[in-house]
Structures are given as structure tokens and as C-alpha cells.
Amino acid sequence: MAAADTHRTIDAVWRIESPRIIAGIARIVRDLALAEELAQDALVAALEQWPTSGIPDNPGAWLMASAKHRAIDHLRRSKRLEEKHEEFRYEQGQQQVPDYDSIIDDEFGDDLLRLVFTTCHPVLSSEARIALTLRFLGGLTTSEIARAYLVPEATIAQRIVRAKRTLSENRIPFEVPRGTELTSRLASVLEAIYLIFNEGYTATAGNDWTRPALCEDALRLGRILAELVSEEPEVHGLVSLMEIQASRSRARLNASGEPVLILDQNRALWDQFLIRQGLAALERAEQLGGSRGPFALQAAIAACHARALVPEKTDWERIATLYAELAQLSPSPIVDLNRAVAIAMAFGPQAGLALVEQLALEPALQNYHLFPSVRGDLFMRLGRFEEARGDFERAASLTRNTRERRLLLNRAEDARVASNAQSTGE
């Protein structure tokens, strides 16, 4: 195999195996930054040796073994060796020096779970959680994360460095929390994964409306988490929501890459396999019982769209009811705005507009481009074209996404044409 082919293989293996390796090493050294460094050392060793020796039969196991030996050497050299001995004795109820090989060869599933709860610890900012999660669980490089979020690479690098320092300075344990702390920390984990998905589903800025790779990364993280925390209904709710939303990907853009709104999409392009997976995950969440959380509720809303073969079959009354339930659970002006849309679809644009107008003074919606966009759509349906035009233009001025701005300006132009026709009686 040519050296270039070998390097490509190593890159692919690393992207797949690095989360497991870093997680396994972090459990031993109890330091995320050090674990990454030791895992990177193993990667460097592969880059040096495999072009000559060939790709091992089990490259992931080779990398893990290499990193493991480096971790053991580090601990044996460390001045904290005795402290580690005491720590492992306490954890395992042992009185003898631990067997490092048996420790690191434990089932790695728990290690991945520890890793995601560490990268999403509430002591970190939302931006830092996302960066660390994409770095360690998603396997993305600093430059890839920077490109995804349209920020300088140096900014992402600083976030990651500061986040690792914060975890170290606060002595955040590399563990899965228990009891009520697990529930509260799980919310942080789910939020970070969904923020990653959302940025891929509808990019906040840039020339592309979607970034499919981010959606795929978030879906992979969600599926891993659903396997690791299989009895938590909200995890399955999140996976369901992402699967169903991702099913629309091919229909959300036209041939020239312009956005297509859900009511105008060709539903024959919706991925039925992803829909079936999403509905199965939703059923799993519901079977686990208890009150529905925000992600399970949003998944139930998405399921209403997925089950409608044509837009006219959408159960908008049920969607409005689900949004009302979501508003009770997680009050938000944005949830109220979405409920107003559902009310408008179920009971007419005037009913929806009455609710939208009640939200006009909400601080959180003053610079939210979808507020004037929704209101503009309702004005269009009511034949109030000049008001619609003004709202679409305002919405276009607020969005940072080039494709979405073009869509909104086109709608403003449609409103202008309709207004002119209305005034001339055509």
C-alpha cells in the first residue's frame, strides 16, 4: 500500500477510534488533556510505523494498546503513583497495587459515557461544550470545527484549551454522575448535541443553508448516547427528533441549493428509513413511561409532519396541542411563536396573527429573524401585502445566512408584486 493510502487509512481509523481511545486513557490518567496527548502519541507512532510494517489486522486495538502502554509508563513515572494506588484501591476495594492492563481493558462503553458527561459539564460554557464534544466525541479537528461555525481557528483552539484547563482547575471527576445530578447533567449533554445538529440543519450564517456533516456528527453522538443510557426516555426523544428532521434533508434544498420550506417540499424525497428509525425511537421513549420531556415533545411534533404524506394531511391541531404542552414544560417565546404558526394552520391566519402580535414586545424576539418572517407569512395569507413586504424585508436584514436572506427577499418581492396588483385591481 502506498504511503499516501496508508495515511488516509490512518486518518479514517483515527476518526472512528479516537473517542474510545481517549475515553479509555482518560479513565486511567484522570486528565482529559493528558489523555488526548497520549492518544496523539499513539497516532504519531502509527504514522511512523504503519507505512513500513503495514496496517495491523485490528488497527483500533493497536492504537489503544499503544496509548495504554504510554499511559501506564506515565503513571509509573509519575510522582502521584502512590496517590493513584490509593485511588484505585478505594474504587476497586483492593489492597494490592492495581493491574493497569486489566483496568484499561474494561468495557469501553462506560468510558465513552464518562467522556460525554465530562465534555458537557455545566462548568463549561455552551460554546466550550460544543467544541469539546465535537473534538473528542465527534473526532473533528480544530480547523473543521472552526469552519463549521464560521469562526477563526484560533478562537476554537482557545476555547478548547480553556475548557480543558477549566476542567482541570475545577478538578472535574471523569465519571458518570448519579441520581438527580445525572438527570441535570444529562440535560446539558442533550442540549450540546442538539445545538450541533441544529447548526447543521439550518446554519446561522454563511453561504450554505445546511451543513450535513454536522447533522451526521450529532446523530452519531445521539445514537451512541442512546445505547449507553438506554433507559432514559429523553435520549431516545432527542434521537427521534434528529432522525425525523434529518429525513427531510434531500427535500430542503432545490437543484440550485436554495431553501425549500416544509410545506413546499417534495415528500417523496423524504428518507423513509430515517423516518422509521425516528418513529421507533419515539415509541421507545414513550414505552419508558413518565412525563414527556422537551425533546420527546418536539419529536412528537416532527412525527406529525413525518406521518403526513401530503401537507394537507398534517394534524395541525395536535401540533398546536403539543406546542402548548411544550410551552408549559419549557416556557419560551420561540415555542410560543411556533405554537402560533400551528394555530394559524389549524384555525386560520387571523387566529395565528392574534397570538403573534401578543409576542411583538418580547425582548428575545426583537432581533429574531423568524418573528417578522412568520408575521409576514400571515399577512400574505390575509391579503395584507404591504405589511407582509415590510416584515419579509426586516427578516432578511436580520438573518446572517446568505441563502435564507435571498429566500426572504424573494418573498418580499412577491408581496410587492401582489400589493401592486391589489392596488390596480388586477
pTM (two decimals): 0.75
pLDDT band at 91 (very low <50, low <70, confident <90, very high): low
CA–CA dist 111, 139 (Å, integer)? 16
Note whether residue 212 is domain-resident: no
Asked if 194 and 240 sit in the same domain, the reply is: no
Q: Is the pLDDT of residue 103 over 50?
A: no
Note whether residue 373 is domain-resident: yes
The per-residue pLDDT for range 259-278, each reduced to its tens digit, is: 899 999 999 999 999 999 99
Note whether residue 214 is domain-resident: no
Note whether residue 96 is domain-resident: yes
Asked if 117 and 64 sit in the same domain, the reply is: no
What is the residue range of 236's domain? 230-348
Asked if 277 and 307 sit in the same domain, the reply is: yes
Q: Say what percent of the chain tops pLDDT 90.
A: 52
Asked if 300 and 376 sit in the same domain, the reply is: no
Considering its fold, how many domains does the chain have in total?
A: 4
CA angle 319, 322, 326 (to 5 degrees): 135
Note whether residue 360 is domain-resident: no
Q: DSSP state, 79?
A: T
Lowest-pLDDT choice from 42-51, 197-206, 281-290? 197-206
Asked if 242 and 300 sit in the same domain, the reply is: yes
Q: Is the pLDDT of residue 97 over 70?
A: no
Asked if 100 and 131 sit in the same domain, the reply is: no
Asked if 42 and 120 sit in the same domain, the reply is: no
Q: Which of 348, 380, 414 lies at the terminal end of a domain, its last residue?
A: 348
Run of H or E including 144: helix 142-149
Asked if 91 and 154 sit in the same domain, the reply is: no
CA–CA dist 279, 307 (Å, integer)? 9
Asked if 342 and 325 sit in the same domain, the reply is: yes
pLDDT band at 187 (very low <50, low <70, confident <90, very high): confident
Asked if 86 and 49 sit in the same domain, the reply is: yes
Run of H or E including 401: strand 400-401
Q: Which of 106, 124, 158 lies at the terminal end of a domain, its last residue?
A: 106
Note whether residue 244 is domain-resident: yes
Q: Is the pLDDT of residue 211 over 50?
A: yes
| 374 or 96, greater pLDDT | 374
What CATH number is attached to the domain comprising 143? Answer: 1.10.10.10
